[in-house]
């Protein structure tokens, strides 16, 4: 059964209304949202067929490219790019833009619906919940190398591509996808600083609804993930992975680190959740934190416009929490999303080897035999 957000959204019979303003009036395929259809590969194919019949490829906005910008000139040591840089480079043939919006369940926001309403011209939709490990009940865990390669190949991504990832909050889930590509050996990936809100605030154009090509690719990526985990053959692979195990940690490694103390452990959750003074948002998860870990809520790394703080301000945040940039670091959060914002900030400070505990607190707090501290 397909678990991706695309399947759930395109084939669901009910959607929460979007709060985003329409940039242009365009059909949203309401007929798809009134059918009760099971989330199977057959259902995904049905959705793709409906989009073929309904949408014609939409012309991308025309941008004036400035000669002083280049996808080759930006350094991979800097993890973010500005909206001005992306605007100038949007027509570069080897540049691909990914909308990786994802929201907490209690936010009542639907990323694929919002993608249809407004997205950066030419952007593809990257389903954080769908391009994930299908063998675990933990949310959006890192998929296998084969599954990731199959999914991103279906999106039309190749190793030669430079990637810019953004989300609908400013800087949130895009950092997770930045980290995922780095785990699988792709260095030419950046986060759009300030995301879609800053893009729109800068007066740059957006597309409303989705082109048939974008929907077909998103559907194909979901089908590819399913096929890999079912042991079926998938289409041509255009993206070769090179797994970087030092960038992802497991529960056993975190357990061992409690005694070994080889790595500083930073938790990106709120102070109240870290202290254990409030219940976890997911049922059945204990409150508290991993013994020996320190808390730097991810929001402390962002300014009021949801852009990453400059290096000097970032360093103050880590110094204030007693984190040494000269020693190894692992990060965690609730489900492995905002931990990647900490990794992004540390990357800006020159620490490019920060590991993320993928299972994070949902895995740790859900185990009956893992030690938990409360403040």
Q: Is 295 a catalytic residue?
A: no
Six token digits for residue 270 = 């709120």
Residue 124 is predicted with a pLDDT of 95
For residue 293, the model assigns a pLDDT of 98
Domain 245-366 has CATH 3.40.250.10: yes
Specify the pLDDT at position 230. 97
Q: DSSP assignment of 160-210, as one string?
A: T-EEEEE-SSSSSTHHHHHHHHHHTT---EEEETTHHHHHHHTT---B-S-
* Beta strands 80-81 and 95-99, pairing class: unpaired
* Number of neighbouring beta carbons within 10 Å of residue 16: 10
* Collapsed DSSP state (helix, strand, coil) of residue 72: coil
Q: What is the pLDDT of residues 53-65, one digit of tens each?
A: 444 333 333 333 3
Is the model's pLDDT at 279 over the cut of 90? yes
Strand pairing report for 189-192 and 162-166:
parallel
pLDDT given for residue 15 in this prediction: 33
Q: 197-233 as b/e, with b when 16 or more CB fall inside 10 Å?
A: bbbbeeebbbbbbbbbbbbbbbbbbbbbbbbbbeeee
Q: Do 312 and 247 touch, CB atoms closer than 8 A?
A: no
For the chain, the farthest-separated pair of C-alpha atoms sits apart, in whole angstroms, at 60
pTM of this prediction exceeds 0.85? no
- Does position 5 have pLDDT exceeding 60, yes or no? no
- The residue with greater pLDDT, 7 or 249, is 249
Q: Which fold has domain 80-230?
A: Oxidized Rhodanese; domain 1 (3.40.250)
Number of C-beta neighbours around residue 98 at 10 A? 24
- Whether the pLDDT of residue 27 is over 70: the answer is no
Specify the pLDDT at position 213: 81
Q: What does the pLDDT average to over 250-264? A: 98
Greater confidence, 265 or 33? 265
pLDDT at 37: 31
Residues 6+ apart with CB under 8 A from 119: 99, 125, 196, 206, 207, 210
Active-site option among 39, 295, 333, 340: 333
For 315-358, the pLDDT digits (tens) are 999 999 999 999 999 999 999 999 999 999 999 999 999 999 99
More confident residue, 365 or 40: 365
- Decide which of 31 and 300 is more confident: 300
CA 326, 311, 323, 75 dihedral sign is: negative
Structure tokens given for 158: 């190749």
Given pLDDT bands bounded at 50, 70 and 90, which one contains residue 211?
low
Beta strand 248-249 with 294-295 is: unpaired
pLDDT band at 23 (very low <50, low <70, confident <90, very high): very low
> Are domains 80-230 and 245-366 of this chain identical in fold?
yes
Q: Is the pLDDT of residue 117 over 60?
A: yes
Region 135-155 average pLDDT: 97
Q: Which residue ranges make up each domain of the chain?
A: 80-230, 245-366
Residue 161 has pLDDT above 70, yes or no: yes
Q: With left for phi above 0 and alpha for psi between -120 and 50, is residue 32 left, alpha or beta?
A: alpha
CB atoms within 10 A of CB 257: 22
Beta pairing class for 124-125 and 95-99 = parallel
């Amino acid at each position: 059964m397909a678990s991706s957000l695309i399947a759930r959204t395109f084939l669901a019979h009910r959607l929460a209304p979007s709060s985003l303003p329409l940039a242009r009036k365009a059909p949203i395929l309401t007929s798809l949202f009134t059918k009760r259809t099971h989330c199977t590969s057959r259902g995904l194919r049905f959705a793709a067929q409906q989009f073929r019949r309904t949408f014609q490829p939409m012309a991308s906005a025309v941008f004036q490219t400035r000669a002083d910008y280049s996808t080759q000139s930006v350094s991979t040591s800097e993890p973010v790019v500005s909206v001005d840089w992306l605007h100038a480079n949007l027509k570069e043939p080897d540049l691909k833009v990914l909308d990786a919006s994802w929201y907490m369940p209690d936010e009542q926001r639907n990323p694929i619906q919002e993608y249809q309403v407004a997205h950066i011209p030419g952007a593809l939709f990257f389903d954080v919940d769908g391009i994930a490990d299908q063998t675990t009940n933990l949310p959006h865990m890192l998929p296998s190398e084969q599954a990731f390669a199959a999914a991103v190949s279906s999106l039309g991504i190749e190793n030669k591509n430079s990637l810019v990832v953004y989300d609908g909050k400013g800087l949130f889930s895009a950092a997770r996808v930045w980290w995922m590509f780095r785990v699988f050996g792709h260095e030419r990936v950046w986060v759009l600083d300030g995301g879609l809100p800053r893009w729109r605030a800068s007066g740059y154009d957006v597309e409303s609804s989705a082109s048939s090509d974008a929907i077909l690719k998103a559907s194909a990526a979901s089908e590819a993930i399913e096929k890999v985990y079912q042991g079926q053959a998938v289409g041509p692979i255009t993206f070769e992975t090179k797994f970087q195990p030092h960038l992802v940690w497991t529960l056993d490694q975190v357990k061992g680190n409690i005694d070994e103390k080889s790595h500083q452990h930073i938790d990106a959750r709120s102070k109240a959740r870290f202290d254990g003074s409030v219940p976890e948002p997911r049922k059945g998860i204990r409150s508290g934190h991993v013994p020996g870990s320190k808390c730097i809520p991810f929001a402390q790394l962002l300014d009021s416009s949801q852009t990453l703080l400059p290096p000097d301000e970032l360093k103050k945040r880590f110094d204030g929490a007693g984190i040494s940039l000269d020693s190894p670091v692992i990060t965690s959060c609730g489900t492995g999303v905002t931990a990647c914002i900490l990794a992004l900030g540390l990357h800006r400070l020159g620490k490019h080897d920060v590991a993320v505990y993928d299972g994070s607190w949902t895995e740790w707090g859900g185990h009956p035999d893992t030690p938990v501290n409360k403040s």
